[in-house]
């Protein structure tokens, strides 16, 4: 475990990015790049649960902690990737405190939740370390719920107060879409939603996170009090690198042709 939960509790800012190609190779490359954490995306990414296993194995010996975004709060989706060794779970489209509590129930073993017990899994060293894993998991597994619906804005304090919800993570694309101001991240209503989320999290002693698209916006979100920061994705890195190189080569070709 990379102690993401404890580091956030201590107020540290953690930098991360998305993994949405479903590739163990890009996971390993990104994991070695210097990020504190990465998000394996099962909601919108190209990979499946089977691919998650290989990505977790690739990330194990890097400095990046591995969080998995599941498709829903169904316990089976959460159990499976935790058993594979995920260090945290992100769940999208939370609308009510009951939704958030359902996520927490799936994260933890009884009496703190309803996670099913299986010893012969990767997370517990295939039964070699189950007792230790069981005792430590409540303090090491990171619970992240996404703030990206209009409804949840009416329940921020109650969601943040739930024991086991560690991070309120803003999904800017979905939230701005639901607010009717898609992509307008400077809009007063979007900024208000950010402040409300950060305030609710801080009152409860929790962290706030966000994914943004321009690294130059880092200071803006950090100054708001956001400490779990994500920018970029493996697909973006590949696409940007390929386009930039192709553009340069094509420019050289045109220049030499004209010469």
Q: What is the pLDDT of residue 1?
A: 75
Please identify every residue annotated as catalytic.
Answer: 44
CA distance 8 to 80: 25
For the chain, helix (H) and strand (E) counts, in that order, are 11, 8
% of residues, the chain, pLDDT over 90: 97
**Quick one: average pLDDT of 33-60?**
97
Total number of domains in the chain: 1
Domain harbouring 161, CATH code: 3.20.20.60
Average pLDDT over residues 171-195: 97
Which domain covers residue 79, as residue numbers? 4-258
pLDDT digits (tens, 9 = 90+) for 147-164: 999 999 999 999 999 999
Write down the H helix ranges in 141-205. 156-160, 172-178, 188-203
Give the model's confidence band at 54: pLDDT under 50 very low, under 70 low, under 90 confident, else very high: very high
Average pLDDT, the chain: 96
Cα(55)–Cα(236) distance, rounded to whole angstroms? 18
Total number of residues shown for the chain? 259
Tell whether the model's pLDDT for residue 22 goes beyond 70: yes
On whether the CB atoms of residues 69 and 91 are closer than 8 A, the answer is yes
The set of residues, in sequence order, having a beta carbon less than 8 Å from that of 85 and lying 6+ positions away, is: 56, 60, 66, 122, 123
Q: How far apart are CA 220 and CA 172, in angstroms?
A: 14
Torsion from C-alpha of 29, 31, 34, 38, nearest 10 degrees: 130
Average pLDDT over residues 205-213: 97
Residues 124-148 have pLDDT tens digits of 999 999 999 999 999 999 999 999 9
Is the pLDDT reported for residue 259 higher than 70? no
């Amino acid at each position: 475990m990379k102690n993401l939960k404890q580091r956030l509790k201590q107020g540290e800012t953690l930098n991360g990015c998305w993994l949405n190609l479903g590739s163990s190779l890009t996971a390993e490359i990104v994991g070695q790049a210097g990020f504190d954490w990465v998000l394996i995306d099962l909601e919108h990414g190209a990979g499946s649960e089977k691919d998650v296993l290989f990505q977790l194995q690739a990330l194990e010996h890097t400095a990046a902690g591995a969080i998995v975004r599941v498709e829903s709060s169904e316990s089976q989706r959460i159990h499976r990737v935790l058993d594979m060794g995920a260090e945290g779970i992100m769940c999208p489209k939370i609308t009510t405190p009951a939704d958030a509590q359902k996520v927490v129930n799936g994260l933890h073993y009884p009496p703190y939740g309803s996670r099913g017990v299986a010893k012969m899994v990767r997370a517990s060293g295939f039964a070699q370390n189950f007792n230790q894993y069981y005792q430590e998991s409540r303090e090491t597994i990171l619970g992240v719920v996404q703030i990206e619906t209009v409804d949840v804005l009416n329940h921020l304090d109650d969601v943040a107060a739930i024991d086991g919800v560690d991070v309120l993570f803003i999904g800017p694309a979905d939230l701005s879409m639901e607010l009717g101001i898609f992509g307008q991240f400077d809009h007063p209503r979007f900024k208000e939603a950010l402040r409300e989320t950060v305030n609710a999290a801080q009152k409860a002693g929790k962290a706030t996170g966000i994914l943004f698209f321009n690294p130059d916006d880092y200071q803006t979100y950090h100054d708001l009090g956001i400490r779990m920061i994500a920018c970029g994705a493996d697909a973006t890195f590949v696409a940007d690198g390929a386009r930039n190189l192709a553009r340069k080569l094509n420019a050289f070709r045109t220049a030499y042709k004209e010469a």
